């Protein structure tokens, strides 16, 4: 076994990154009308973007299909070897085919090329050779050629796959922008993740309502206010007037500050120790926005009010933690 030479390995690793970075940088000059034409074909598609590729290009194609699908452009991957054995039936006349091959001569894709043409579906290709079979057959060919691979033998697909992956990302993001794809649209495609929870959950989905809300009047003795806080377990109580409008809020922090003054709990009224009004918001704000407001104002709860400024809910920071928003 050859001895591991750290002094030789580290410069090689840096060279790999430099070569791949140069390969991606070279793509910038190729973002032109041809790229715009590819985007237009995808935007005009009434079906799916069918992405195909073989070997390492197949792995890249699968990732590009996933990125397209999660950013508003319905897409899926079809293995070209399986396509000629029945999976070609997954492609319809409403679709667009995106075929990826560095050589542009991948046998499995060239084999199904006449069938794709017979379906009369638009064909976009990403190839490293503009004079290849696939490139010349395409409606639009995106040039992803590289001057060299990062592999010292200049054999293993490295810089070429990185460049192709980057071009796929450029296509997906351009389409995202053209479609007006929003954060909430993205969250609907990722409902199980933290991002989905942050973007799909609203304050009204998490806040306490009705009898769950601790409520006292301004003339309630502080002792009774503390009992209401204990019963409802939110670490606070709201203070409402007789018409249901918020006069203030009293929190654990207010209690500590009040005790520091040596006041008499039995003879002190809530109006004397409450924080006037409190921070109020619409129950329709996103949970993520609630997090931001709490962090900005250094508070642990928010009060939700309706259009008439009446209290409809209370959100505590623990509710956000339990929901996985923070």
Least Cα distance to 157 among 66, 68, 73, 56 occurs for 56
Query: Is residue 254 scored above 70 in pLDDT?
Result: yes
- Torsion angle in degrees (nearest 10) through CA of 253, 256, 259, 263: 0
Under a CB-based contact definition with an 8 Å cutoff, are residues 302 and 319 in contact?
no
Query: Is residue 179 scored above 80 in pLDDT?
Result: yes
pLDDT of amino acid 198: 60
pLDDT (mean) for 172-180: 93
pLDDT of amino acid 146: 96
pLDDT (mean) for 131-148: 96
pLDDT (mean) for 169-180: 94
Q: H/E element holding 113?
A: helix 107-119
| CATH class of the domain comprising 6-181 | alpha beta
Under a CB-based contact definition with an 8 Å cutoff, are residues 134 and 127 in contact?
yes
pLDDT (mean) for 133-156: 93
- Token pair recorded at residue 287: 């949970």
3-state secondary structure of 281: strand
User: Same CATH topology for 6-181 and 203-322?
Assistant: no
pLDDT of amino acid 193: 56
The domains of the chain are located at 6-181, 203-322
Under a CB-based contact definition with an 8 Å cutoff, are residues 42 and 96 in contact?
yes
**Mean pLDDT: which of 78-92, 125-139, 271-285 is highest?**
125-139
pLDDT (mean) for 157-175: 96
Among 62-66, 162-166, 255-259, name the one with the lowest average pLDDT. Answer: 255-259
pLDDT (mean) for 222-235: 92
pLDDT (mean) for 232-242: 92
| Domain 203-322: assigned CATH number | 3.10.580.10
């Amino acid at each position: 076994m050859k001895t591991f030479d750290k002094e030789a390995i580290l410069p090689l690793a840096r060279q790999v990154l430099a070569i791949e970075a140069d390969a991606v940088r070279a793509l910038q000059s190729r973002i032109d009308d041809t790229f715009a034409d590819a985007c237009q074909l995808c935007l005009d598609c009434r079906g799916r973007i069918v992405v195909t590729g073989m070997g390492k290009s197949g792995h890249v194609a699968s990732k590009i299909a996933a990125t397209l699908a999660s950013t508003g452009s319905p897409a899926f991957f079809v293995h070209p070897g399986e396509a000629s054995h029945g999976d070609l039936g997954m492609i319809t006349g409403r679709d667009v085919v995106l075929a990826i091959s560095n050589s542009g001569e991948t046998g499995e894709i060239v084999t199904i090329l006449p069938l794709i043409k017979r379906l009369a579906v638009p064909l976009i290709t990403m190839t490293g050779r503009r004079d290849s079979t696939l490139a010349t057959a395409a409606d639009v060919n995106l040039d992803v050629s590289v001057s060299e691979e990062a592999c010292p033998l200049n054999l293993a697909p490295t810089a070429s796959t990185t460049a192709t992956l980057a071009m796929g990302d450029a296509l997906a993001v351009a389409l995202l922008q053209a479609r007006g794809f929003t954060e909430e649209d993205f969250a609907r495609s990722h409902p199980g993740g933290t991002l989905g929870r942050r973007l799909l959950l609203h304050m009204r989905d998490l806040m306490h309502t009705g009898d769950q809300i601790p409520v006292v009047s301004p003339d309630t003795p502080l002792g009774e206010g503390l009992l209401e806080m204990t019963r409802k377990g939110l670490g606070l109580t709201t203070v409402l007037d007789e018409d249901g409008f918020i006069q203030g809020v009293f929190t654990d922090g207010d209690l500590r500050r009040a005790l520091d003054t040596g006041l008499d709990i039995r003879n002190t009224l809530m109006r004397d120790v409450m924080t006037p009004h409190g921070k109020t918001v619409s129950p329709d704000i996103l949970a993520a926005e609630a997090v931001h407001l709490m962090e900005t104002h250094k508070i642990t709860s928010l009060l939700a009010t309706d259009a008439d400024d009446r209290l409809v809910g209370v959100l505590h920071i623990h509710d956000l933690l339990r929901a996985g928003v923070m």
